[in-house]
Amino acid sequence: MKGLTLILLLGILGCCYGVWDPNKARIVCYFSNWAIYREGIGRYGIEDIPGSKCTHIVYSFVGVSNVTWEILILDQENDVDKMGFANFTALPQQYPGLQTMLAIGGWGEGGKKYSQMAGVPERRRSLIRSIVEYMNRYGFHGFDLDWEYPGATDRGGTFKDKDNFLLLDAIHVMTYDLRGNWAGFADVHSPLYKRPFDQYAYEKLNVICPHVQNETSGWTRKFDDIGKCPYAYRGCTMGRLRGCR
């Protein structure tokens, strides 16, 4: 789907909204707001989103200010002036039970600001206050932190990021762009499993990681209700959300 990326959820959200049934698999979709700037048939807007295919959908991206440590709007005209946020959060009117979320971060934001924010309690509090204010103002059900990547020194992170990075309710695992033109050869971009010919770093760059595949690891592996999207959870049952990983 152009402009919309399905992602694998590893873990279960601890706080649910609306009429979504927590005992069902989560299908989390990403909407990239810059897709509207594509030309011709490549253009993809909010009106093109097939909300019936998702349980949760994430609007990307906003950023963080390195001055106020609050949310930084990256596309004022699209997100606010042309009611991108408002039109997005209105989708549940068309698709009852759909949960809308706002994402902060992304590749273009880098990791340095997020490392600097996470390492100072007052900066974290400032961002959290701003997040809550935006969720209430525009009617988002949840929030997604897309920090790329904690601990990645080549992206401005530090080794302390792991200690400062507190898990929230769920972990969204990036399951796309595992292969690309940087690899130097043609391949599918997101293989589910390790193939016999995968070598070096590519041995572990697959959607279903070896640890989850291990029968003694404690992970429960499932597919969504229509058998299309794989997911896994550990430390709970589908009906008991707290404590899931």
Residues with a catalytic annotation lie at 148
- Residue pair 212/232 in contact (Cβ under 8 Å)? The answer is yes
| Sequence letter at residue 132 | V
Measure Cα distances from 83 to 52, 90, 95, 138, 206 in Å. 22, 10, 19, 10, 37
The structure tokens listed for 175 are: 């399951």
Give the end-to-end CA distance of the chain in Å, rounded to a whole number. Answer: 28
Question: Of 192, 190, 186, nearest to 177 (Cα)?
Answer: 190
What secondary structure letter does DSSP report for 195?
-
**Alpha-carbon span 35 to 41, nearest angstrom:** 11
Tell me the residue ranges of DSSP E strands in 124-235: 142-146, 171-173, 220-223, 230-233
Tell me the residue ranges of DSSP E strands in 68-197: 71-72, 99-105, 142-146, 171-173
Classify residue 109 as exposed, middle or buried by CB count within 10 Å of its CB (0-12, 13-18, 19+). Answer: buried
**Alpha-carbon span 32 to 216, nearest angstrom:** 38
